[in-house]
Each structure stands twice: as C-alpha cells, then as structure tokens.
Amino acid sequence: MNKLEKFKGIQPAWCPGCGNFSILRAFNEAMDELGFEPHDFVIVSGIGQAGKFPHYTRCNTFNGLHGRTLPVATGIKLVNHKLRVFAVAGDGDCYGEGGNHLIHAIRRNIDIKLFVHDNQIYGLTKGQASPTTMKGVVTKTQPFGVFSEQFNPLTLAIALNCSFVARAFAGDISHLKEIIKSAITHKGFSLVDILQPCVSFNKINTFEWYKERVYYLPADYDPTDRVKAFEKSLEWGDRIPLGIIYLTEKPTYEDLIPIIREKTLLEQEPLINRIGDLLAKFY
C-alpha cells in the first residue's frame, strides 16, 4: 500500500497543473514523515481554492468562512491545545478578508501553523487582484492596474515578532515539505507563505517566473537576528529568498493561561454543581 494512502481525500477540483497539487503532496509527505495519523490534527480552512485543501487530504476538518480561519482555529486550540491545529488559507483569504485576524493571531502567539497558498491572484472568483498582486498588474477589476502597495506578509509578521516566519515554493516539493515539518515542530505561531503559481489566472507569476527568481537562504543565515530578517523579508523582485526567514522562541498563548496548565479545557468537567456557591454571592 502506498504510504500516503491514509491521507487520500476526495477528488480535487483544482485546475490541472495547479500549484496546490504540489502543496498537497508536500503536506501529506510531511504528515507521514512526522508519523501523524489523520485524526491527530485538524485543518481549519477558509474560502478560495486553498479552502478546499482539507477535503483533499484526510483529517479533522473545519472549512469555514472566507477570512475566518484563524479565529476558528484559535477557538479550537484554546479548547484542546493537545490537538495540532493547522490553518490553510489563500492570499485573498488571509491577507485581505482576514487581515485583522492575522495580526492578532501573531500577537497572541497561539500554537497554530498557518499555511498560506499565495498565488498573488484571486482564483476562485476568476482573476481579480489580491493583496499580494504586484503594483501595476492589470486585472478584470483593476482596469488601470493595481495602485496599492503589494502586501508583504513576511515583513508584517516579523514586525509583530511572529515566532516562525518562512517562505516556500510549490515548485520545490522537498524543500516545502521540510519547511512544513519545521513549522509544525516549532512551538508557537508559524506563518509559511507558499508561492503557488495559478495556471489559470496569473499569467505573470508563473512557475517559470518564480523559478528564475527564487533562491535558498544560505546555511550560515541566522534567522534569529530580527533586523537581518526584516531586511531579508524586504527582498522581492529579481531575487526572492526561500527558507526560514525569522525564528524566535517565546511562550505560547496557551502556556500563559493558568487554568489549562494541567489539563486541556476539553478534559475538564464543567463545574455546574458549584452553582449554589456562585448564587450565594448575590446575597
């Protein structure tokens, strides 16, 4: 039996050649190599082509609303912090609609792993600009080209002292897999921005376009140097760095909540028999 058989989900509805297939493959291989069973983790996803991701692997799944992956994932993680919680979103989903949630999830440093399928375009709605679409790109709904600054998720994350910030490329499955594994084994909120060509609607940022530009961070790169990391995160254009850009160790949000130090909230019985004591306080 194929070792990845246990992670085989329903038939994907992605376009042939979509960068998402490589992400799915890298993810499943990472799960297998980490020794996870499908019930060991939950994927919370949003809306967009990336939102369908959990259906195409096998896992506990909450495929929620556009932009709202992180709040749902936060609720799950706070209730059961022993369960591994992954969030899968697209660039429009997470950086546009859910931008506020991203900021605050990073601030909390809740131990959620966020994988963003960043194709720099809206795929599901067929080709409008996303926050990561480059300036000047003409689309169906930006007839004079994109005027807004391109959103830089990595710089934002480092500014918020995100505990794990990485970029990977769907064109290199084994590197992507290693990044996914590192994110998962790291303790704290992890953002992995995955460059993912959209073969149907992004005719600029193609496989070829990325291949010509991406390079791997050298072995002597120190991801714990925040200022250097900030500088590195600003690199975009002719050369685009891949790898773990920034890394810092700090307590997670759930570490700091005293009532779940011994047991998860899920493992605790509701204390309904103490309601008499509560009402006594009203006298």
Partner 1 sequence: MDYSIKIGGEAGQGIQTVGDILSHIFAKAGYHVFTHQDYESRIRGGHNFYQIRISDNPITASRTKIDILVALDKESIYQHEKELNQKGHAVYDSSYFREKYDRPNFIDVPFLDLALTHGGSKLMANTVAVGAVIGMLGMNPKIMFEYIEKTFKKKGEEIINSNLRSAEAGYKYAKEKCLTCSFMVSGFESPKMLITGNEAIGAGAIASGLKFYSAYPMTPSTGIFNFVSDHAKDFEIIVEQAEDEIAAVNMAIGASFAGIRAMTGTSGGGFALMVEGISLAGMTETPLVIALAQRPGPATGLPTKTEQADLFFALFAGHGEFPKVLFAPGTPEEAFFLTNKAFDLAEKYQITVVILTDQYLADSQWSYEKFDISKLKYKDYRIRGEEFKRLKEYKRHIFTETGISPLGIPGNYHHLVITDSDEHDEEGHITEDAFIRNKMVEKRLFKKLPLIQKEIEPPKLYGTKEPEILILCWGSTYGIVREVVDELSKSYKVSMLHFSEIFPFPEQKSWIDIIKKSKLIINIEQNATSQFARLLRMETGIKIEKHINRFDGRPFTVDELLEKVYEQIREI
Q: Where do contacts with partner 1 occur on this chain (CB under 8 A)?
A: 9-10, 37-40, 42, 44, 47, 52, 54-55, 58-65, 68, 70-76, 78-80, 82-83, 100-101, 103-104, 257-260, 265-266, 268, 270-272, 274-276, 278-279, 282-283
Query: What is the smallest separation between the CB atom of 61 and partner 1, expressed in angstroms?
Result: 4
Nearer to partner 1, 46 or 171 (CB): 46
Nearer to partner 1, 143 or 276 (CB): 276
Query: What is the smallest separation between the CB atom of 40 and partner 1, expressed in angstroms?
Result: 7
Secondary structure string (H, E, C) spanning 93-156: HHHHHCHHHHHHHHHHCCCEEEEEEECCCCCCCCCCCCCCCCCCCCCCCCCCCCCCCCCCHHHH
3-state secondary structure of 161: coil
Report residue 250 as tokens.
């700090």
The residue count for the chain: 283
Query: What is the smallest separation between the CB atom of 43 and partner 1, expressed in angstroms?
Result: 10
Query: What is the smallest separation between the CB atom of 187 and partner 1, expressed in angstroms?
Result: 19
Nearer to partner 1, 23 or 78 (CB): 78
DSSP line for 29-92: HHHHHTT--GGGEEEEE-SSTGGGHHHHS-SEEEE--TT-HHHHHHHHHHH-TTSEEEEEEEHI
Nearer to partner 1, 211 or 263 (CB): 263
Nearer to partner 1, 61 or 206 (CB): 61
